[in-house]
Amino acid sequence: MTAGLGPASACPFLSALTAEQAVSMERRIAEFDPFGEAYQRDPAAAVAWSRAERPVFYSEDLGYWVVTRYDDVKAIFRDNVTFSPSVALEKITPPSAEAMAILESYDYGMARTLVNEDEPAHMPRRRALMEPFTPAELAHHEDMVRRLTREYVDRFIDDGRADLVDQMLWEVPLTVALNFLGVPEDDMPTLREYSVAHTVNTWGRPAPEQQAAVAESVGKFWRFSGDVLERLRADPSGPGWMPYGVRQNAVMPEVVTDSYLHSIMMAGIVAAHETTANAAANAIKLLLENRDSWDDICADPTLIPNAVEECLRHSGSIAAWRRITTADTVIDGVDIPAGARLLIMSSSANRDERHFDDPDAVDIRRMNAGEHLTFGFGAHQCMGKNLARMELQVFLEELTARLPHLALAPDQEFTYVPNTSFRGPEHLWVTWDPSRNPERTDPSVRERRMPVRIGEPSSKLISHRMVVAEREQVGDDVVRLRLEPLGGRPAPAWTAGSHIDLDCGGLSRQYSLCGDPADGGLEIAVLRERDGRGGSTFVHESLLVGTEVRVRGPRNHFRLDPDVHRHVFVAGGIGITPISALAAEAHRRGDVFELHYAGRSRRSMAFAARLRERFGDRVNLYPADEGPRLDLNALLEDPAPDTRVYACGPARLLEAVTAATAAWPIGSLRVEHFAAATTLRDPASESAFEVDLIESGLTLTVPRDRTLLQTLRAANIDVQSDCEEGLCGACEVRVISGSVDHRDLVLSEGERRSGETMMTCCSRARGPRLSIAL
Ligand code: FES
């Protein structure tokens, strides 16, 4: 048991409860058992009560403070000075004297590694060893991962029954890990035994009689790691991360030290494969338990990258990490003394309803699935995250293509190695009918795969298969389409102001949604642009009733302000589409609004009559061929208090609205653009700049011919993106210091002036340096 630095003051959560509730809460806290069955089965569910009512509590039995909400866990990851990782590999159960003696007999001396070292040692070492983890370097491993996975599937594909853990999910990641590390593929079962022993030794609660056997295996693992390292030292010229580390040791011995290499050798073997093996078993189990999700990725493999993120979120292989406070601090209103040990439950954070809608549901199209904390966050985020993602993606691609009829074997009991931090079933039995294996009739099934897109946000690939259910001419050259999901699935939810990306015969085009979010479909209205880029022509000529289409989104960067209830809506031409949805939403809310709608002629103005019919004289129409022009200067001359102006239409209309509202308070105007921003001009006219990533502790150079987003990706930093044209706002980051050359079409003038955020896909530094919150 760890000496407890327990509660020093009254807990604000407890004092808000009745006496009866407080007793029940105290009982739950006392019963918290991270080695018990409920925690092993589903750690997030086991502390649902904590997320709801007591997100920070002290476990006497464990000697740890337990933290369970998303924002708190993320904030702790972010601040690795107040919350030191130095206890991350500490034995959570103190070893017996006998176990200690055994470990000493092997000269066991696990020192700090990347996982548990403090600054200033950590970041220089991380930088020195990072290159093999960059997406460009990882891409070299994809063929090997795929070949291995196919070989293992070949071994059981005709059997009709397999334990995926024993027959594939342990050995493939282990082989990949050894290849990645550049370590010889020694005896697999022995390495597996060593790895499990290391987990139990560090994060488990072995019974006294187990301790000697565990220590024996850990000692042998330590010796094995040392032997391998000696061989690599003799010839460090080969490929792999460990030879790379040995070479870096020669160049910068004070950064990549000798003792460090031995420890990272052993920790690396475990970290690089055990978490992946467990994550894969969890993911396959979860998807087979949620059959619709499994069937969806079988039918549409482009959904697999985001399904991987959703599985990592919902049932990742990391239950919790540990930290120790270096100063008195406060977490979610609870005073925590210096020296307190923390169990920060990333598994629970990933199911926090404050961050994820309907968090217990498995939704493989969840747009923010990738925001899970399974890989940690900030300077200590898992370096191997993209290798793990690649393996999980390849496993799911191979299994769904070759065994789509796979099912969980009935009546199996899932067992887990009891420990606080890593979880995955020890066995995963699946069954199928080999006579239905697709490759028996179509051998090409073995070959068809898409390349893994390492480091790209999976949300970009989320799509919905829909069908054109209605088609209607709603103006000269304007057609309205109603899209409904295939197969009776619910339509994706959307809010007024949203847009979708529609696949137009290989082109992706953005269209704002019109219609009513409540009626279970998606509606767009598309103007045929004779000299456009082809999207509108495709819609007009090819999308007939019954045509299947692929849709991404919806996403919304043009929302009605929830706190303001007076609005002026301005639309030009086809810009009426999002404006009509906003007006409907304002009407539903009972807000005060007026709508001004200009067009070439009444016949060209989609929905004009319907809007007049529905909203009466709050709708003002300005058909150019009938005389009265929309006079924006007169309309917007006087800033109106507590009022927002929303505008969508051609660029010249938006410029005019912007000019007319120049005297309005900052943030009064919101606009939706049709055309993309200029992301990168002629590289000859661009300047390179430095960017400090405050949370990751890195400094990168953004060359003149690359965007900031491209530079971040190349350095293994996760950043969301969608349009990559400055239109959608998905790649927004917080700016800490430096002046920004804003080139997006998302931020308002006021937001640009405040300089608090920027879009990484297009905006750049005005000077030589920027600091951003990544
Ligand atoms: Fe859309 Fe940057 S990705 S604005």
Chain centre to alpha carbon of residue 487:
27
- Ligand 1 centroid, distance to 507 Cα (angstroms): 17
What pLDDT was estimated at residue 692? 95
- The size of the chain, in residues, is 774
Distance 761 CA to ligand 1 centre (A): 6
Q: Using a 6 Å cutoff on CB, does residue 724 contact ligand 1?
A: yes
Q: What is the DSSP letter of 172?
A: H
Give the pLDDT band of residue 489 (cuts 50, 70, 90): confident
> What is the rounded average pLDDT of the residues 654-669?
91
Q: How far is the CA of 709 from the centre of ligand 1 (A)?
A: 9
Reduced to 3 DSSP states, what percent helix, strand and coil does the chain have, rounded to the nearest 5?
45, 20, 40
For 253, other C-beta atoms within 10 Å of its C-beta total: 10
Q: Where are the beta strands (DSSP E) in 317-360?
A: 321-325, 329-331, 334-336, 341-344
Q: Are strands 161-163 and 341-344 parallel, antiparallel or unpaired?
A: unpaired
- pLDDT at residue 255, rounded to an integer: 86
- DSSP H or E run through 654: helix 651-660
Mean pLDDT within 190-198: 78
Higher local confidence (pLDDT), 93 or 303: 303
Q: Is 107 helix (H, G, I), strand (E, B) or coil?
A: coil
pLDDT of residue 393: 96
**Contact criterion met (CB below 8 Å) for 735 and 772:** yes
Q: Mean pLDDT lowest for which of 53-62, 161-170, 537-546, 555-564? A: 555-564
- Residue 379, pLDDT > 90, answer no
DSSP, residue by residue, 17-41 = S-HHHHHHHHHHHHH--TTSHHHHH
Cα(75) to ligand 1 centroid in Å equals 25
DSSP 168: I
Q: Does residue 723 have its Cβ closer than 6 Å to ligand 1?
A: yes
Question: What pLDDT score does 678 carry?
Answer: 58
Residue 60 has pLDDT above 50, yes or no: yes
Q: Which residues contact 258 (CB under 8 A, 6 or more apart)?
A: 249
| 722 pocket-lining for ligand 1 (C-beta < 6 Å) | yes
Question: Binning pLDDT at 50, 70 and 90, where does residue 2 land?
Answer: very low
**One-letter amino acid for residue 233 of the chain:** R
Q: What average pLDDT score do residues 419-446 get?
A: 94
Q: How confident is the model at residue 71 (pLDDT cuts 50, 70, 90)?
A: very high
Positions of E strands within 476-506: 478-485, 498-504
Q: Please work out whether the CB of residue 758 comes within 6 Å of at least one atom of ligand 1.
A: no
Report the C-alpha gap between 725 and 743 in whole angstroms: 9
Give the ligand 1 atom nearest the CA of 728: 1
Q: How confident is the model over 625-654, as pLDDT tens digits? A: 998 899 999 999 999 989 999 999 998 999
171-183 confidence digits (pLDDT tens): 899 889 888 988 8
Model pLDDT for residues 279-300, shown as the tens digit of each residue: 999 999 999 999 999 999 999 8
Residue nearest to atom 4 of ligand 1 (CA): 726
C-beta 137 within 6 A of ligand 1? no
Q: Please identify, by atom number, the ligand 1 atom nearest to the C-alpha of residue 760.
A: 2
Atom of ligand 1 nearest to the CA of 677: 4
Centre of ligand 1 from the C-alpha of residue 485, in Å: 26
Atom index in ligand 1 nearest the CA of residue 727 equals 4
Torsion, Cα 710 715 717 718, to 10 degrees, reads 50
Mutate to test the pocket of ligand 1, among 557, 761, 763 (most ligand atoms within 8 A of CB): 761
Q: Residue range 318-344: average pLDDT?
A: 96
Pick the range with the lowest mean pLDDT from 401-405, 419-423, 445-449, 626-630: 445-449
- Residue 759, ligand 1, Cβ within 6 A: yes
Q: Three-state SS across 255-313?
A: CCCHHHHHHHHHHHHHHHHHHHHHHHHHHHHHHHHCHHHHHHHHHCHHHHHHHHHHHHH
Mean pLDDT computed over every residue of the chain: 89
pLDDT value of position 4: 45
751 pLDDT band, cuts 50/70/90, is confident
Task: Give the integer Cα–Cα distance in Å for 558 and 368.
Answer: 18
677 vs 513, residue with greater confidence: 513
Q: What is the mean pLDDT of residues 335-353?
A: 96
The verdict on whether omega for the bond into residue 120 sits within 30 degrees of 0, i.e. cis, is yes
Query: What sign does the dihedral 156-162-164-167 (CA atoms) show?
Result: negative
Taking residues 400-409, report their average pLDDT. Answer: 97
The β-bridge partners of 471 are 481
Query: What pLDDT sits at residue 9?
Result: 47
Residue 687 alpha carbon to ligand 1 centre in Å: 21
Q: Is 727 in the pocket of ligand 1 (CB under 6 A)?
A: yes
| Mutation choice for ligand 1 from 501, 708, 722, CB with most ligand atoms inside 8 A | 722
Using the mean position of ligand 1's atoms as its centre, give its distance from the Cα of residue 102 in Å.
56
For residue 84, give the 3-state DSSP assignment: strand
Mean pLDDT, residues 359-380: 91
Q: What percent of the chain has pLDDT over 70?
A: 96
